[in-house]
């Protein structure tokens, strides 16, 4: 499960580990699935030639998409989808199963993409194409940018008439929240998942804004959340620890940490939703 906090953890790791490093070689592994990930390039050599010899100048992201800006004027765009992994390794370390792309640096080991479900997409783009994506992102809100203020959040919510959980997991509304973080944010804010978004008071919106910011910052501090079939690992292969701090997600039948009533699980929007009926209103 990869949402915005996990992508931000990877972004910060990459900033420390590979900025200033030059790519010695780029290998699309010789298996039949590797080219499914390098979708924007017809041949291995085309993709590899665009990366080899380039220096990584800067790391950025647009929502959940990582951007490695190169000194050639191109940008290496990495979308890990729901379960891709990036690992920084030594060149002599064994290659894990489902490793599809390997970048070797002139100094400082390798960067490897591992993806059992082939949900990642890698592409080398011009800066002009990336700028167009920056100006027209496929979402309304990125909670980790300077533009995300309470006033902006309130304004975007104002015209919505949607159950809160459905809105929170809508990737065109807020990027990188997902069911787990939506349940945690709504619990922290004391708002029921089926509450209509146009029925929120200004006080509700303030609590929701604060809960969203606090949840994301706490998750990043804990190095992400590692749960599910393909648990998150950071750039060094270590799992996050925020799963130890979850208040309601996957805790049905346990006591609510706030009121001691049972946490419930219901089906909403095709996924399991977790909440406390007593203290979320």
Write down all domains in the chain, each with its CATH number in brackets: 4-135 (3.20.190.10), 150-275 (1.10.8.50)
What integer pLDDT is reported at residue 129 of this predicted model? 93
Distances (CA, A) of 17 to 12, 84, 88, 239: 9, 19, 8, 18
Percent of the chain whose pLDDT exceeds 70: 100
C-alpha distance across the termini of the chain, in Å: 28
Angle at Cα 140 formed by Cα 138 and Cα 142, nearest 5°? 95
DSSP output for 134-147: HHS-SSSB-TTSTT
CA distance 98 to 116: 5
What integer pLDDT is reported at residue 57 of this predicted model? 98
Residue 161 has pLDDT above 90, yes or no: no
Q: Average pLDDT for residues 49-74, to the nearest whole number?
A: 97
What integer pLDDT is reported at residue 249 of this predicted model? 97
Top-confidence range, 80-84, 160-164, 214-218, 225-229: 214-218
Q: Average pLDDT for residues 111-128, to the nearest whole number?
A: 95
- Tens digit of each residue's pLDDT (9 = 90 or more) over 36-60: 899 888 889 999 999 999 999 999 9
Q: Average pLDDT for residues 103-114, to the nearest whole number?
A: 95
CA-only gyration radius of the chain, Å:
20
Q: Give the lowest-confidence range in 122-131, 144-153, 251-260.
A: 144-153
What integer pLDDT is reported at residue 147 of this predicted model? 80
**Residue 147: exposed, middle, or buried by beta-carbon count in 10 A (0-12, 13-18, 19+)?**
exposed
Tokens of 8: 């931000």
Any idea what DSSP says for residue 175? T
CA distance 102 to 88: 10
Beta bridge partners of 59: 68
Any idea what DSSP says for residue 197? G
Beta bridge partners of 78: 66, 122
What integer pLDDT is reported at residue 203 of this predicted model? 94
Given a contact cutoff of 8 angstroms between Cβ atoms, the answer to whether 87 and 237 are in contact is yes
- Tens digit of each residue's pLDDT (9 = 90 or more) over 168-223: 999 999 999 999 999 999 999 999 999 999 889 999 999 999 999 999 999 999 99
Sheet holding 74-79, edge to edge: 56-62, 65-70, 74-79, 121-126
Residue 167 has pLDDT above 80, yes or no: yes
- SS3 label, residue 6: helix
CA distance 271 to 267: 6
What integer pLDDT is reported at residue 137 of this predicted model? 93
Beta bridge partners of 233: 239
Helix residue spans in 69-177 (DSSP H): 127-135, 150-158, 164-168
What integer pLDDT is reported at residue 250 of this predicted model? 96
Q: Average pLDDT for residues 19-40, to the nearest whole number?
A: 90
Residue 75 has pLDDT above 90, yes or no: yes
Q: What is the pTM of this model?
A: 0.95
Distances (CA, A) of 167 to 7, 194, 211, 218, 220: 21, 10, 15, 22, 22
């Amino acid at each position: 499960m990869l949402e915005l906090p996990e992508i931000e953890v990877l972004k910060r790791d990459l900033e420390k580990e590979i900025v200033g490093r030059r790519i010695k070689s780029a290998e699309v592994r010789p298996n039949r699935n590797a080219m499914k990930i390098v979708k924007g390039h017809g041949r291995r050599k085309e993709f590899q030639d665009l990366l080899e010899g380039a220096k990584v100048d800067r790391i950025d992201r647009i929502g959940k998409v990582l951007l490695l800006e190169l000194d050639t004027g191109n940008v290496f765009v990495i979308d890990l989808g729901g379960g891709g992994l990036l690992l920084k390794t030594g060149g002599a370390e064994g290659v894990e199963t489902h490793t599809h792309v390997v970048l070797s640096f002139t100094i400082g080991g390798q960067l490897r993409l591992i993806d059992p479900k082939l949900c990642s997409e890698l592409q080398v783009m011009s800066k002009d194409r990336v700028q167009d994506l920056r100006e027209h992102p496929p979402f309304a809100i990125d909670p980790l940018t300077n533009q995300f203020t309470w006033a902006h959040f309130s304004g975007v919510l104002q015209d919505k008439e949607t159950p809160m959980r459905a809105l929170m997991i809508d990737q065109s509304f807020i990027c990188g929240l997902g069911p787990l973080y939506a349940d945690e944010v709504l619990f922290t804010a004391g708002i029921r998942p089926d509450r209509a978004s146009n029925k929120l008071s200004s006080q509700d919106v303030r609590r929701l804004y604060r809960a969203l910011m606090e949840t994301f910052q706490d998750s990043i501090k804990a190095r992400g959340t590692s749960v599910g079939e393909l648990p998150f690992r950071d750039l060094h292969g270590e799992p996050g620890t925020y799963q130890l701090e979850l208040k309601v997600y996957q805790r049905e039948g346990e006591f609510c940490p706030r009121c001691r009533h049972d946490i419930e699980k219901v089906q909403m929007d095709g996924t399991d939703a977790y909440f406390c009926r007593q203290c979320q209103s």
